Structure 1
């Protein structure tokens, strides 16, 4: 027999096809590409031409291979002749129910039911549907969220939080060790402005008496609401009053040098700001293992500055300390990274570079991902180049800025309030939940559920609406924020995906109540086969989403899965199927579909209710 006897855990024994336990070590598409590739190899053509993809025309086959056309150019043979010889080799395996040629040499492929059902059975027995098998575990630090002391989180934090949290869950799903850091904005001139603004209003407080040794009050002298009013006032005052700005700069310098009263007041501001942002993060389901901020690098910065000077990486330019990061081949001017201004103040670049050194020292990561607005791309390019040049991170650690576009209003411009102000994140979330409440009420759910359960459903629908709407877009794209559309139970929306999963939950509950059991998978209808193929494509979707840091690929997958399930549900009876074996098989297929849907929706940050 000219065809290989063993292909990655798949035994080839004519029609008596058997499977081994190592089957899920590679995805279905990869297996097919290997199998078809080895058929090419058998007829003397490079195996790379066996690359197989999902068919664009389902009526012709489930998969297609276009390699015969490329091979024909390389070896100078007729592409249909090559395709015919490949098919002869493939037919020997007994893995395919149909093999045909279309056009000048496209190979159309339909799998045997034994092959397809065996694959999904093996995949379903694996806790992560085979998505971890080809991945080498890493230690990954994800930097996202980025709230600031004294500032309410706004619409600009929405995408950073939603995308970052989804990537955190994705990385954990594939087996990485993930450290998630909110990286709080809690240092620099804004702190000095606040200190001096509070002093103007309450000069009698002990924080401003340089001779006071403590202890300082345990309660903050200002509330978070007051802080959010004080900072804009202080910022405006600094633009109009040079003396006040200079006082704020001095206060910032003294804070960073450890003045006790300023440190105590700063700690109050930081603590109440963190408590406020936790509420927003909790609503969005964001989880952080570390609540570090710029201030945590304060002890690293002096040592780093000395090292960079001694080792010749930094230099003085026009009174400022900088690291030159321009490289040969740059197509545009790359400015240096400024570490210290001429007045001795440190910059964001300083704390970001020191943060990299701190993370290297504390965690020794393999990858660090920064989920931050795309407009910060130049800043991160400077910081990453400086980190490489100054040996702040080990050479093989991957540094990447995960940029994203803006959230726009229906006018196509960045989302604003009616009076032109910044939209608070809390208000946006509450609006989404309220719009979802209207949707679920109009659907008749208010008649079936009590107030508490209806509120829980509305909250989950509202959060699902804004998360799926955000993540389903390619992250570098801008998108229009339209709550009325996002909360509908139809189309490419979060509520639509949720409802498909809830429908399966309801069916499986009824089956349990009726004493109906799941059984061995069999295939009797094409919609069953199409659903199985959709389930089997998860490893490719997860791999693509991971490599590109693109949760929209998983949104596409779960939408396709919902579509295929709905087609199956429409065409095939489940609970009402009279044949016991077919009914048991379909219940099993429903259970597998639900588990995969819930896993993908969880990665997207969407929590599925039990009932709707």
Structure 2
């Protein structure tokens, strides 16, 4: 556990264990299973029983005696089968909370050994993003923020899917529409026109139409394959046209990401790995990491523990073209060599499990990843109320911008229904609706474990009641409104009411919740804690008047407690990627 309170108690516990001859037992506090029993628990007696050849209960009694005299401990009580439940003093809780509120890091402890972490999420192709990209962006951004918060050096990369057969399909489709365009002259060396024959809006239809044509006509598929090979071989016209298309698409993609609050340090694509591929393929073959199968190049990645067949990884096709796996291997090499990554995280749909299993094994086998750890952070699908993948009413895949607009529209309707912000300007109302709608989507996604799919019910997601994003936003907006009315009237926290103690203890759990979420690679751990904190804030309001409190010292204490809760809740919502409007 990671609060200031727990760290002090663990220091005292360490001294107690040494005095009992249990210096090899970790001095670690555990969450107390029932809040009414205490604020933390000690399980060291269970571990030390075999070492001392004594009963856990007798060892726990000795630990309780030692901890009873420790600073900040009000009670240390033994509980079967050998636990010690600790209750902290009100003064210790208050001091710890004031320290957390004053800490620029909000009391979130750093890791003892920070790493250089590259996190790969988003992963769009050059066509407009759709609802299928939502989870990668939301989970990836939350993890990026939390990894930074605990001290890692994080580099985020969107890793555009701008290479491979789809590229050839799109270019071949454009050639069919504009056969005389200069980019398709194999002898042309440039310069080529700056104005493209297609617009950014055309990109959404180009690939589906090209794919349909290739499916219906084998000659079109062969043309797409030949175009892909020519592009990868560096034909000047195709290369110039493709670079311009990617730049056009990237601008629209990053606009969508920015609206959702996703930040990228790098916006590299598969094409950026292309210069590495010839040398990489030669290395793989020369070292025996890959073998020839006709003109193709394969890597065997089977392992003795496999329960299912793991086929060889194809890194070069018979026509000489590279695949996604090839660019993934080259990208791992670049991230290790150029970014000095200690860990590379891929936030990608769980249905890509086999692909990453093959690629990771191939990277390790060929020594491309060095000492860097490789992780696939898999997630489930976003489903509609019918339990099937979320789609438009017409049955089509919904675009990401369309989904954001729909959530914003529903948020506007909820604001109007409740008579909220009726005196606000249209600009302020629009901004609030955008923040509420986006938070609704983020929290709906981050409320369940990432590996499970979930049903996205937009009407429920934008509700101000229940476990929703708007509920959390409103909890913070209300705290800020109280503090704005109070001005600078706070004082030292003095805990007298049970609701005050519960709120203070809840606030102090922020650091622990962040570390749990990072360890499990699942932001839902922090989301669950945030809902618990918001619930404690509501109970505090019900039991403890703040601005209406008549006793000046109690009022000042409660204002400071509200400020500490605002700090903790605000920090959590920032880490979850939510933007909070000034009013709701």
My pick for the range that moved more, 115-124 or 602-611, is 115-124
Change (3 A) 1:105 1:226: closer
Q: Which residue of 1 aligns with 2:403?
A: 428
Deviation at residue 401 of structure 1 after TM alignment: 0.7
Q: Which residue is equivalent to 1:162?
A: 138
Q: Does the 8 A contact of 1:164 with 1:371 survive in 2?
A: yes
**TM-score where L is the length of structure 1:** 0.90
Candidates 524, 530, 543, aligned match of 1:552: 524
Match in the other structure for 1:601: 573
* CA–CA separation in structure 2 for the residues paired with 1:500 and 1:360: 43
Counterpart secondary structure, 2:143: helix
Count of matched residue positions in the alignment of Structure 1 and Structure 2: 584
Find the aligned partners of 2:187 and 2:110 in 1 and give their Cα distance: 63
| Aligned-residue CA RMSD (Å) | 2.2
- Mapped pair 1:301 → 2:273: no
Matching residue of 1:489: 464
8 A Cα contact 1:26 1:133, kept in partner: no
Structure 1 residue 470: Cα displacement: 0.3
CA distance in 2, matches of 1:317, 1:534: 61
Provide the C-alpha distance between the structure 2 equivalents of 1:171 and 1:331, rounded to a whole number of angstroms. Answer: 33
**Match of 1:211, SS?**
coil
How far 1:332 sits from its partner (Å)? Answer: 2.7
* Residue 511 (structure 1) aligned with residue 483 (structure 2): no
- The aligned runs of 1:8-27 (5 Å cut-off) are 27=4
Q: Distance in 1 between the 2:319 and 2:177 partners?
A: 28
After alignment, is 126-135 or 493-502 more displaced? 126-135
For the residue of structure 2 that corresponds to 1:368, the secondary structure is strand
Q: Distance in 2 between matches of 1:98 and 1:594?
A: 29
- Deviates most, 567-576 or 456-465: 567-576
1:264 equivalent to 2:240? Answer yes
Equivalent residue of 2:35, what SS?
Answer: coil
Q: Which runs of 5+ in 2 are unaligned?
A: none
Q: How far apart, in 2, do the equivalents of 1:366 and 1:83 lie?
A: 41
Distance in structure 2 (CA, Å) of the matches to 1:478 and 1:365: 30
Partner of residue 507, structure 2? 535
Q: Equivalents in 2 of 1:135, 1:272: separation in Å?
A: 43
Q: Deviations for 1:82-111, whole angstroms, at most 9, x for unmatched residues?
A: 433332222222532233344555433211
Q: Judge conservation of contact 1:49–1:70 (CA < 8 Å) in 2.
A: no
Alignment CA distance shift 1:49-1:546 (3 Å): closer
> Are the structure 2 counterparts of residues 26 and 62 from structure 1 closer, same or farther at C-alpha, using a change threshold of 3 Å?
closer
For 1:592 and 1:130, the matched residues in 2 are separated by 11
Partner of 2:299: 323
Among 541, 544, 566, which residue is 1:569 paired with? 541
CA displacement, residues 159-179 of structure 1 (integer Å, 9 cap, x when unaligned): 011111111111222222221
Q: 1:592 to 1:135 in 2, by over 3 A?
A: farther
1:470 pairs, out of 421, 430, 445, with 445
Residue of structure 2 equivalent to 1:124: 101
1:206 partnered with 2:178 = no
Match of 1:399, SS state, is strand
> C-alpha offsets along residues 227-268 of structure 1, whole Å, 9 cap, x if unaligned?
322221211111221222111111111111111111122122
What TM-score, normalized by structure 2, do the two folds share? 0.95
Q: Is the 8 A contact 2:111 2:151 kept in 1?
A: no
Counting only pairs closer than 5 Å after superposition, residues 142-221 of structure 1 correspond to structure 2 as 142-149=119-126, 151-221=127-197
Per the alignment, residue 497 of structure 2 pairs with 525
Q: Deviations over 1:269-311 (max 9, x none)?
A: 2122112212211210111111111111111000111122222
Equivalent residue for 2:338, pick from 362, 365, 368: 362
- Aligned mates of 2:465, 2:18 — CA distance in 1: 47
User: Does the 8 Å CA contact 1:26/1:134 hold for their aligned counterparts?
Assistant: no
